[in-house]
A and B are shown apart, each in its own frame.
Chain A
Amino acid sequence: MCLAVPGEIIEITDRDPLLRSGRVRFGGIVKDVNLAYVPEAGVGDWVIVHVGFAISMLNAAEADRTLEYLAQIEAFHEPDDEVP
């Protein structure tokens, strides 16, 4: 339903709370993105972008934990029943 893609904030261009926006890089291209919904995000942070809006900040530590969980599955270990 919702095509949303991770990108890296490379510049904040407008700091007005309503219009807060910046330039976000996806692979080799850059697009202007509204950042009003990720007020805590700054340059160097990764966000998930849908129809020109950052809807969520990407949590790198959680991303690593997901990959660790996958590594446990692959290694025939039963991961903890706790969520990954």
Chain B
Amino acid sequence: MRFVDEYRDPVAVERCAEAIARLSRRPWTIMEVCGGQTHAIVKFGIDRLLPGTITLVHGPGCPVCVTPVEKIERAMALAARPDVIFCSFGDMLRVPGRHGDLQSVRAHGGDVRIVYSPLDALRVAEENPDREIVFFAVGFETTAPANAMALRQAKARNVRNFSLLVSHVLVPPAMAALLSAPDCRLNGFLAAGHVCAVAGHEEYEALATRFRVPVVVTGFEPLDILQGIYMCVKQLEAQRATVENQYRRAVRREGNTEARRLMAEAFEVVDRRWRGMGVIPASGLAPSHAYREFDAEVRFPDHLEVGEETTECISGQILRGVARPNDCPAFGTRCTPEHPLGATMVSSEGACAAYYRYRGVNAKTA
């Protein structure tokens, strides 16, 4: 496949890893923000090619993992209603609330359907005019334009039985929150290439300056990730802290202006709770006033009292990059993909699930 295979060439990968080893003189801790990059790193074994001086930590960039328990509970309550067809991306079905998940709601008779795109959910609404269709709109900046378009088309076509349960989050405020934490030990960031394809990377410039950290916008193939690390280490060794763009084939500084325009019309910025990280100011999106009638939380205003989860799960520390999956005493024993204690084990992009799948339970010795 073009634009994929050429970035998986094993000879180039080996040489690129050697170049990183030659370049790095001091120990550096670099966070890849995006769960898709975490997945690629462990699936391809990229971290095993790096010198001991480079530590990769896995960031909170998995929308499935950071969706707060209260939203999962609300999703389950909506999905259980007999008048509702609840549509969702596949990943969300296994995320545990306090009691069960969407799969268990389906098992008890809830009409829960997996769709590929929010427009598929809109189609379900048009085909089932006598049912209420709720789409679970999770995601980062990358997914927001798709959900914005579903809102826009629903309004334009006057689809009255369609609404979104929105749990959108924004990356830069979360990075600022991570960097502001007193236990932060991050030296640099690989920023998520597909988020930046939509949102651009202007916003990271202030972060790089304020916190003196290099930020490299990075793609998802093995050579992209290795080059992102190379560029980040190069800045660190030279004591520079700027925003660079490794993923130039897909990302422009201003992002996708068409997509940003519709996002700004359909959504407004709100404070948002992140699972394991607490409330981060101005870190989420909710339907804007013009689209309130398509907000499932307005249409079904039943309020659920929900607090943060209290288990032995350390996913909050993992999402903040201060612990790794195999630091957790429950990893691979009381917590597995079949019986997850927390969200990072649930999503296949979650750091714990990725470790479990591609490292095995004995990762401590690996």
Q: What is A's interface to B at a CB cutoff of 8 Å?
A: 1-6, 8, 18-19, 26-27, 34, 36-39, 46, 48, 50-53, 55-56, 58-60, 62-63, 65-67, 69-71, 73-74, 76, 81, 83-84
Q: Which residues of B contact A52 (CB under 8 A)?
A: 116-120, 146
- B317 interface contact, C-beta 8 A: no
Q: Taking the complex as formed, is B320 at the interface, i.e. its CB lies under 8 A from any CB of chain A?
A: no
Write out the residue numbers on chain A whose beta carbons fall within 8 Å of the beta carbon of B107.
none
Further contacts, 11 of them, CB under 8 A, given A2-B143, A26-B1, A73-B16 = A1-B63, A2-B140, A4-B220, A18-B152, A52-B117, A53-B117, A53-B145, A55-B256, A58-B250, A59-B248, A84-B248
| Shortest 5 CB-CB contacts between residues of A and residues of B | A52-B117, A74-B15, A2-B142, A56-B197, A2-B194
The reply to whether A3 and B36 contact each other, CB–CB distance below 8 Å, is yes
Instruction: Name the A residues within 8 Å of B206 (CB-CB).
Output: none
Beta-carbon nearest neighbor of B14 in chain A: A74
Q: Contact at A70–B149, with CB atoms within 8 Å?
A: no
For B140, the chain A residues whose CB sits under 8 A away are 1-2
Contact A70 B117 (CB under 8 A): no
User: Which residues on the A side are within 8 Å of B139 (C-beta)?
Assistant: 1-2, 51
Q: Does B34 contact A (CB under 8 A)?
A: yes
* Number of inter-chain CB pairs below 8 Å: 135
Residue A46 contacts which of B3, B224, B245 (CB distance < 8 angstroms)? B3
Evaluate whether A4 and B16 lie within 8 angstroms (CB atoms) in the complex, with A55-B256, A63-B3 already known.
no
B108 part of interface (Cβ distance < 8 Å): no
Q: How far is the CA of A4 from the CA of B3 in the complex (A)?
A: 12
B120 touches A84 (CB 8 A): no
Q: Residues 81-116 of chain B: 1 if any A CB is under 8 Å from the residue's CB, otherwise 0?
A: 000000001000000000000000000000000001
B230 within 8 A of A: yes
- B residues in contact with A26, CB < 8 Å: 1
Most A CB contacts (10 A, CB to CB) among B36, B89, B139, B248 go to: B248
Q: A36-B149, A58-B250 are in contact. Are A1 and B61 (CB under 8 A)?
A: yes
A sample of 10 inter-chain contacts (CB < 8 A) reads A2-B142, A3-B36, A6-B4, A18-B149, A18-B156, A58-B249, A69-B227, A70-B12, A83-B248, A84-B227
B249→A62 contact, CB < 8 A: yes
Complex Cα distance, B252 from A59, in Å, reads 10
CB < 8 Å neighbour of B256 from A3, A19, A56: A56
For the complex, count residues of B whose C-beta is within 8 A of A: 55
- Say which residue of A34, A51, A65, A73 sits within 8 Å of B143 (CB atoms): A51
**What is the CA–CA distance of A58 and B4 in the complex, to the nearest angstrom?**
12
Which A residues are CB-close (under 8 A) to B245? 83
A66 to chain B, nearest CB (A): 6
A56 to B217, CA, bound (A): 15
Bound Cα distance from A46 to B35, whole angstroms: 24
Q: Which A residues lie within 8 Å of B15 (CB)?
A: 73-74
B70, CB-defined interface residue at 8 Å? no
How far is it, in angstroms, between the C-alpha of A27 and the C-alpha of B246 when the chains are bound? 24
Q: Which residues of A contact B120 (CB under 8 A)?
A: 52
Within 8 A of A (CB), among B1-26: 1-4, 6, 12, 15-16, 19
A51, B3: Cβ atoms closer than 8 Å: no
Query: Which of these, A37, A46, A48, A73, contacts B19 with CB under 8 Å?
Result: A73
Pick from A46, A50, A67: contact of B142, CB under 8 Å: A50
Q: What distance in Å separates the Cβ of A4 from its nearest Cβ neighbour in chain B?
A: 5
Chain B 217-254 against A: per-residue CB contact (8 Å), 1 yes, 0 no? Answer: 00010011001001100100000000011101111000
- Beyond A1-B62, A55-B145, A55-B198, is A73–B230 a contact (Cβ under 8 Å)? yes
Q: Given known contacts A2-B192, A39-B258, A84-B248, is B227 in contact with A70 (CB within 8 Å)?
A: yes
CB distance from B192 to the nearest CB of A (A): 6
Query: Are B259 and A37 in contact, CB atoms less than 8 angstroms apart?
Result: yes
User: Could you tell me the distance in whole angstroms from the C-beta of A26 to the nearest C-beta in chain B?
Assistant: 7
Is B153 in contact with A4, judged by CB distance below 8 angstroms? no
Given contacts A1-B35, A37-B259, A74-B12, contact A66 B194 (CB under 8 A): no
Residues of B close to A70: CB separation below 8 A: 12, 16, 223, 227
